[in-house]
Structure 1
């Protein structure tokens, strides 16, 4: 892995993790589902336009269309929809920690239900991940974290893990940026009816809201996706996935710096344990390929 790939991986991890902080700013001032539906509409159109500029085709094969629809439903509408609603009462740092456990959830489910083998280091990583999350969740719930919001975050990461497992390898064959853009448009189409039926269009306008929304559209929505695609093309999906182990740390750090969210002793301990667990699982799975 060369220096450029490392820089790209770090940039992706920071951009992905920072999305929870910008989302927290948005949902405290605007309806969560309507904001997310609008974000997906704009990001999706930008991603599709970028895909066309890269020469990618609208014509997807059956597996790619399946991945587009499943991820549009499970990742964009359910995972992010549930997280946006949850972050009205749940801090961005906690939401990012829960979301970052997705590789652990996928590895655990693959082991239990698909019979996927892990090296001893991988099993140790799964145990470490469970321990780290337990430490963080216990401390946060005792500190007054909203149980309903936490449950929505957990349901969201389970939805994302299910989608990831169901479409493994389905996006191979090119047109990745086009698939991502169409996924966003599917998510937007699914969210709009719920936003219009359940939410009132009350917005507390401020420059921070405008900046946060613009950042969410352009950076996590488009730039992070483009960097991820380029990183996978450069070093492969397995090596690229190892950068996910940085997400718990960056998620907590960005929320602490920009939102002033407290970082307690148990948060630090739990984040370190979860981070090491994700790294161990990723390295174990890579070693078996």
Structure 2
């Protein structure tokens, strides 16, 4: 018989999705802090390098075993390229190109919708997307179009939509969606520290050549140093590790069910820190998208 899980551990496990969503929301804010002082790929290349240097001694001191099969290394590398290089590269490039934190968060916030529709579509007979999920999908995209249309015509400095930054954000959306599905399907359970080290190494191999081609150089100051520190310690060591653990524990559904809270949370923080305007259109579009996402990810009765 399995030993009962201590009550404190149960409470922590239940709180993990909420903690992850809060940490995840800050990723878009960090991009706004860092991008005025650095090109996106150079920032991410340094971030991946510092994160790897943090994981390696942690792995050595803990005596953690690395994955033993080439296939597992390959699967981890693919997820690293998608969930780090593709996703973060898209978000950071979009923000660098003038997109605000709130809009980038709103676009990527459709990831649970795409994931749920895909899983339902691939579930076989009797598992097709429900009418409620299709309604949620339509509402989610309608809310996004409402916000994007306003940003195209009435966006301010650092908070505008163009076809260029929209393309980067959409790339990030599809990268995180495909990466999550791929990891859930192919990556076998292993230690989160070694998994992250492999994923970050693969992301660095893809990102570094792009960073070397950037003409702009990094201009170190307090804002850039703070953004880098939180990106490494809070987002990579904390957020990415927590996401991997949640997927391994089968709690990805709990995270997905709360993801609709990320865009409103990010928009509120961006309004406080960067004065990104929260207009009636922005509130209506964000609320409509959040409601649509909640309809899609809400488990059936």
* TM-score range for the pair, normalised by the shorter chain length: 0.7 to 0.9
The equivalent position to 1:158 in structure 2, one of 174, 188, 191, is 174
1:183 aligns with 2:191: no
Residue 26 of structure 1, aligned match among 20, 34, 40: 34
Report the Cα offset of residue 136 of structure 1. Answer: 1.4
Shift in Å, 1:50: 3.8
Q: Distance between the aligned counterparts of 1:124 and 1:167, measured in 2?
A: 28
Provide closer, same or farther for how the CA distance between residues 272 and 54 of structure 1 changes in structure 2, counting only shifts above 3 A.
farther
Shift of 1:17: 1.0
User: Which residue of structure 2 lines up, in the alignment, with residue 264 of structure 1?
Assistant: 279
**Pairwise CA distance, 1:243:** 2.5
1:15 is displaced (CA, Å) by 0.9
Identify which of 116, 134, 137 aligns with 2:148. Answer: 137
The 3 A distance-change label for structure 1 pair 9 and 32 is same
Per-residue deviation at 1:232? 5.3
Deviation by residue 1:67-118 (Cα, 9 ceiling, x = unmatched): 3121222222222112212211111111111111111122334456776523
Q: 1:183: Cα distance to partner?
A: 0.8
Once the two structures are superposed, the pairs formed by residues 58-97 of structure 1 within 5 Å of their partners are 58-61=66-69, 64-88=72-96, 89-97=98-106
Work out the number of aligned pairs and report it. 285
Q: Which has the larger radius of gyration?
A: 2
Deviation at 1:215, TM superposition (A): 1.0
CA distance in structure 2 between the aligned counterparts of 1:155 and 1:236, rounded to whole angstroms: 25
**Structure 2 CA distance, aligned partners of 1:73 and 1:14?**
24
The Cα shift of 1:155 comes to 1.9
CA distance in 1, matches of 2:195, 2:37: 31
Q: Which moved more, 1:227-236 or 1:6-15?
A: 227-236
Distance 1:24 1:171, change over 3 A: same
Deviations 1:142-173 (A, max 9, x none): 21323111221112212222333334332332
Residues 2-38 of structure 1 deviation map (CA, whole Å, 9 limit, x = unaligned): 6534533222111111111111111111121111111
How is 1:1-289 mapped onto 2 (pairs within 5 angstroms)? 3-51=11-59, 56-61=64-69, 64-88=72-96, 89-111=98-120, 117-144=128-155, 145-147=160-162, 148-203=164-219, 205-231=220-246, 236-284=251-299, 287=300
- List alignment gaps of at least 5 residues for structure 2: 1-8
SS at structure 1 position matched to 2:190: coil
Query: RMSD between aligned alpha carbons?
Result: 2.6
Distance 1:103 1:48, change over 3 A: farther
Q: Residue 202 and residue 227 in structure 1: after superposition, are their counterparts in 2 closer, same or farther (change >3 A)?
A: closer
Contiguous gaps of at least 5 residues in structure 1: none
Change in CA separation of 1:173 and 1:9 when aligned onto 2, cut-off 3 Å = closer
CA distance in 2, matches of 1:113, 1:134: 27
The 1-side partners of 2:60 and 2:252 are apart by: 23
| Aligned residue number for residue 6 of structure 2 | none
